[in-house]
Chains A and B, each alone.
Chain A
Amino acid sequence: MKKDIILSGVGGQGILSIATVIGWAAIKNRLYLKQAEVHGMSQRGGDVQSNLRLSSDPIFSDLIPKGECELIISMEPMEALRYLPYLKKGGWIITNSAPFVNIPSYPEISAIDADLKKDANVISFDSDQIAKDCGAPRSSNMALLGAAARYIEILDVEALKEGIRNVFARKGEKIVEDNIKAFEAGFEIAAKR
C-alpha cells in the first residue's frame, strides 16, 4: 500500500507543517516515508511544494514520478494547477480557494477552477475563512489537512490528530487546540461533499 501526495502553496503558507504532521503519523504507524522539501531562495514568496511519499514497502525516489501522485493538497488554488502533470487521472485535489495574489499576471479564478476540475476530483473551499470562523486564523493549513484526511487512506484520522498534538505540543496547549479545531472543521466540510 502506498500514497504519494504533493503539497503546494506559496512560501510561508505552512505546507511544511502539514507535511510534518502527516510524516509524524506515518512514522508512528511504521510506514516508510520520503519527504522532499524546498528550502532557500524560493521560500521568499515564491511557489513551494513538498513531495510526500508514504508506503508499506521501501521507497526509492525522493521525487514523485509523473502520474503516480494520488492527492494534491494545496494552500493556494493556482499552485495546485502547477502539479497536474504529476496527478493520476481522476486523482483528488484538496485546495484552499482563497487566492494569494503577489504577482501582477494572476489568472482569472474561473479559469483556474475550470482547469482544476478538468481531469481531477476537487474539493475547494476557503480554508482561511474556516480557520477564522474557528477562532484560529493561523490554522488554515490544518483546516485543509482535515478536509484531505479521508483521502489519505493509508493513515486514519486519529493518527493525524495525534500528529497535530505532538508536532505543535511545544507551542502550547492553546495552539494545539486551535489546530485540532480547524482540522475538525475542515474534516466536516469534506464530509458534506
Chain B
Amino acid sequence: MLGDEALALGALHAGLSGVYAYPGTPSTEITEYIQASPLARDRKVHCQWSCNEKTAMEAALGASYAGKRAMVCMKHVGMNVCADAFVNSGVTGASGGLVVVACDDPSMHSSQNEQDSRFYAEFAMVPCLEPSNQQEAYDMVRFAFDYSEMYHTPVLMRLTTRMAHSRAVVKTGEMRDENPLRFPEDQKRWVLLPAVARVRNEQIIKQYAQYEEDSEKGNVLSGPKAEMGVIACGIGWNYLMENIEGEPSFPTLKVTRYPVSKKQVRELASMCKTILVVEEGQPLLEKALRGYLPVYNEIKGRLDGTLPRTGELTPDALRKALGMDDKETCSKSEVAVPRPPALCMGCGHRDFYTALNMVVKDYPTARVFSDIGCYTLGYLAPFHAINSCVDMGASITMAIGASESGVHPSIAVIGDSTFTHSGMTGLLDAVNMGANITVCISDNLTTGMTGGQDSAAFGRIENICLGIGVPKEHVRLIIPLPKNYEEMQKVIREEIEYRGVSVVVCRRECIQTAKRHLKKQ
C-alpha cells in the first residue's frame, strides 16, 4: 500500500473515530482510503471532507475534547491555513488522541513552495514523527495516538511526497476499539484566557524537554567510530542505506522523532570529526547544529552544498555527498523535451479561458488574478490567461487591492472548491468595500486537481454569493461550451462594465468526473 494508505490503516486500527481533511497533494489518499474502507464504514468513522484545513483542525480538536481519537490530514501549505488552530491546540492540549498529518512536497511536484512542516511542530512545541518507510507509517501513527493521550498533546506526523506516494507491503497489527465519549478531567486548559494560557505555557515547556528525552527511545544511534558520521532523518535513512553495502562502518543517528535529543547528537559528535546531516526538506536540524558559534565538528549538509540546497533528496544526491563514484549509465538524451501538464481536452476551464481572452484583449489594462486549482494551468500555452496564483482564495482579495489601486478591469478567477475553502470571506470584503471587481467562479462541480473529491457548496454557489450581498442581477451563470462563446463574452463584458462587485459563475462538470459518472451508469 501507499505510505498514505498505510498511515490511514494504522489510524483505523488505532481506534480512529474521525478523519478531518481538505484534499491536497500528496495527502489526499489518506482520507480517500478511509472513505473506501469497510471497517471505517462499519464503525461509522467520520470521513467527509471539510471546507478547509482550519475547519478540519478545529473539528478534530472538538472530537479530541470529547475523548475520541481524531486525525487531521493536509498538504504542507494547509498547515498555514490551520496554523491558528494548530498552534493553539498545542496550548489547550488534546484529550482523546489527536494526530495532525502534514504531507510536505519537496521539489514542488504539485505545490507552490517547499516549506517544511517540522518547523510548525517546533513552533507549537508539539512532538513530531517522521516515518522512513511505509511500515513505520503504519506503526508510528498507532504510537502517535498513544503518545498523544499519554501527554495530552497533539502529535504532528510529517510525510513527504516519496513516502506518501510509494507502495510497499505492510504487516498489520491488532485492531483497537474506539474510545468512549469522555469529557476532559482538566476543563480549565480548554479555555485559553491569558491567565490559563500562561500556566499552560510553563507546563508545555517542561513537557517539550520530556519529548526530547523520549525521542532517544525512537531515534537510533549505532555504528563504530569513524572520520565521518551521518544523521539521517525520515526517508533520508533509506537513501543512505541504499548506497552502502550491509551495516554502516561509521556512526549513524537515524531520526524519526523530534525534538531530537541533544545528548544523542553529542554522543554521535564524539565518535566522528565530520557530521553529514541528511534531511528531506529544509535544513532544520543542520541549522540547529551549526548555530552561530564555532563547533568542534565540521557539519555538512544542504547549507554548504554537500547536498543540494533545494528539491527532494535522491539516492544519487546522497551518493555524491558520500564521495562515492557514479555508476555507469546510458547517456542522457538531448532530444527529449519537457511535457508540462495541461488542461484536459474538453475541459470547461478551456472554454472559459477562450471566451475570457476574447473579452480581455479589448481591455489592455485588464489584470486576471487567479487561484489554486486546475485552472492555474491557464497560465501556460495556449491561454496565457492569468497574471497571478499565490494561495487559496487570493484571487478575489488581490483583485480588490489591485482595483482600489487603480487597476481596471480587475478580474478574479477561482474554482468552486477554492471559493468555499477561502474565497467567501474575500467576497464579503469586496461587497462591504464596494470594490469594482468581476469574480469568475469556474465551477466544475468538484475538487478537480486532486482527483475529483466532493465540492463543499455543490449546487449552492449562487445562493452563497447572494447571501454575501452581491446584487441578484450581477450574479450571472454561463455554460462554458464553444457554441456559447458569443453569449459568454457578452456576459463577461457586461459585468466588467458594471461598477461594483459582480460574479460570473461558469459551470460545467469536470470532464474526468463526468467520464466516471457515465461509466457508472
| Residues of chain A having any CB pair with chain B under 8 Å | 10-11, 23, 27, 32-47, 51, 59-68, 78-79, 81-82, 84-89, 91, 102-107, 111-112, 115, 118-120
The smallest C-beta distance from B374 to any residue of chain A, in angstroms, reads 7
| B341 and A27 within 8 A (CB) | no
CB-contact partner of B335 in A39, A65, A87, A112, under 8 A: A112
A120 in contact with B29 (CB, 8 Å): no
B329 touches A40 (CB 8 A): no
A35, B167: Cβ atoms closer than 8 Å: yes
Complex interface: chain A residues within 8 A of B162 (CB) = 36, 62-63
Question: Contacts A36-B165, A40-B26, A44-B344: A10 and B339 contacting too (C-beta < 8 A)?
Answer: yes
Known: A10-B339, A27-B169, A39-B26. A61 touches B242 (CB 8 A): yes
Q: 5 more A-B contacts (CB under 8 A) besides A65-B242, A103-B340?
A: A34-B166, A45-B344, A65-B327, A81-B333, A85-B332
Of the candidates A11, A59, A84, A107, the one whose C-beta lies within 8 Å of that of B341 is: A11
Q: Which residues of B contact A (CB under 8 A)?
A: 2, 25-26, 28-29, 109-110, 162-163, 165-169, 235, 237-239, 241-243, 314-316, 319, 326-344, 374, 377, 381, 449-451
Most chain B beta carbons < 10 A, residue from A43, A62, A85, A87: A62
Contacts of B331 on A, CB cut-off 8 Å? 84-85, 118-119
Q: Which of B235, B314, B328, B343 is A44 in contact with, Cβ under 8 Å? A: B343
Among A61, A84, A102, contact of B238 (Cβ-Cβ < 8 Å)? A61
Task: Judge whether B335 and A111 touch: CB under 8 Å.
Answer: yes
Q: Would you give the shortest CB distance from B427 to chain A, in whole angstroms?
A: 26
Separation in Å of the A96 CB from the closest CB of chain B?
15
Could you say which residues of chain B place their CB within 8 Å of the CB of A68?
327
Which residues of the partner chain A approach B341 to less than 8 Å between Cβ atoms?
11, 41-46
Are A107 and B337 within 8 A (Cβ)?
Answer: yes
Q: How far, in angstroms, from A78 to B334 measured CA to CA in the complex?
A: 11
- Interchain CB contact under 8 A, B336 and A82: yes
Point out the residues of chain B lying under 8 angstroms from A78, CB to CB. Answer: 335-337, 339
CB pair B337–A103 under 8 Å, yes or no, is: yes
Inter-subunit contact B110/A41 (CB<8 Å): yes
Complex Cα gap A36–B26 (Å): 12
Interface centre among B25, B109, B238, B333 (most CB of A within 10 A): B333
- Closest Cβ of chain A: how far from B196's Cβ, in Å? 42
Expressed in whole angstroms, the Cα–Cα distance for A119 and B242 within the complex equals 25
Chain A residues contacting B335 (CB-CB under 8 Å) are: 78, 81, 107, 111-112, 115
Q: Please, which residues of chain A bring their CB within 8 A of the CB of B109?
A: 38, 40-42
Measured CA separation A105–B337 after assembly (Å): 7
Q: Which residues of A contact B451 (CB under 8 A)?
A: 39
- B169 CB to nearest chain A CB (Å): 6
> Among A33, A79, A82, which residue has its beta carbon within 8 angstroms of that of B168?
A33
B239 touches A44 (CB 8 A): no
Docked pose: A10 CA to B338 CA in angstroms:
11
The answer to whether A91 and B342 touch across the interface, beta carbons within 8 angstroms, is no
Expressed in whole angstroms, the minimum distance between the Cβ of B172 and any Cβ of chain A is: 14
Q: Tell me which residues across on chain B come within 8 A of A23, comparing CB atoms.
A: 167
| B residues in contact with A46, CB < 8 Å | 339-342
Known: A36-B166, A41-B449. A84 touches B340 (CB 8 A): no
- A42: chain B residues within 8 A (beta carbon): 109-110, 341
Given contacts A62-B235, A103-B337, A103-B339, contact A32 B315 (CB under 8 A): no
A107 touching B336 in the complex, CB below 8 Å, given contacts A11-B341, A84-B329: yes
Q: Is there contact, CB below 8 Å, between A66 and B344?
A: no
Compute how far the CA of A78 lies from the CA of B315 in the bound complex, rounded to whole angstroms: 25
Contacts of B374 in A (CB 8 A): 44
Could you say which residues of chain B place their CB within 8 Å of the CB of A112?
335-336
State in angstroms the CA–CA spacing of A102 and B323 once bound together: 41
Are A32 and B163 closer than 8 Å at their CB atoms?
no
In chain B, what residue has the closest Cβ to A108?
B335
A/B interface sample: 18 pairs, CB < 8 A: A11-B341, A34-B167, A35-B166, A35-B168, A36-B167, A38-B109, A39-B28, A40-B449, A44-B341, A45-B344, A46-B342, A63-B314, A65-B243, A65-B314, A67-B326, A67-B327, A88-B328, A115-B335
**What residues of A have a CB within 8 angstroms of the CB of B166 in the complex?**
34-37, 51, 62
A81 to B331, CA, bound (A): 10
Q: Which of B238, B381, B450 contacts A104 (CB 8 A)?
A: B381
Listed residue (A61, A65, A78, A81) with the most chain B CB atoms within 10 angstroms of its CB: A61
Residues of A contacting B333 with CB < 8 Å?
81-82, 84, 115, 118
- In the bound assembly, the distance between CA atoms of A158 and B449 in angstroms comes to 38
> In whole angstroms, what is the CA distance A41 to B344 when docked?
12
If A41-B449, A67-B328, A89-B328 touch, whether A60 touches B238 (CB-CB below 8 Å) is: yes
Minimum distance in angstroms from B319 CB to a CB of chain A: 7
B110: chain A residues at CB < 8 Å are: 39-42
A118 near B330 (CB under 8 angstroms)? yes
Q: Which A residues lie within 8 Å of B342 (CB)? A: 44-46, 102
A191 to B136 alpha-carbon distance, docked (Å): 43
Q: Which residues from B are CB-within-8-Å of A64?
A: 315
Shortest Cβ distance from residue A10 to the other chain B in the assembled complex, whole angstroms: 7
For the complex, give the distance between the alpha carbons of A180 and B103 in Å: 38
A93: nearest residue on chain B (CB-CB)? B330
Instruction: Name the distance in Å between B384's Cβ and chain A's nearest Cβ.
Output: 14
Give Cα distance in the complex from A65 to B322, angstroms: 14
* Bound-complex Cα distance A127 to B91 (A): 60
A66 adjacent to B165 (CB under 8 Å): no
On chain B, the residues within 8 Å of A66 by CB distance are: 316, 326-327, 329
Residue picked from A11, A63, A119, A120, most chain B C-beta under 10 Å: A63
Q: In whole angstroms, what is the CA distance A102 to B238 when docked?
A: 36
B377 touches A44 (CB 8 A): yes
Candidates B29, B238, B319, B377; contact of A39 at CB < 8 Å: B29
A120 to B451, CA, bound (A): 36
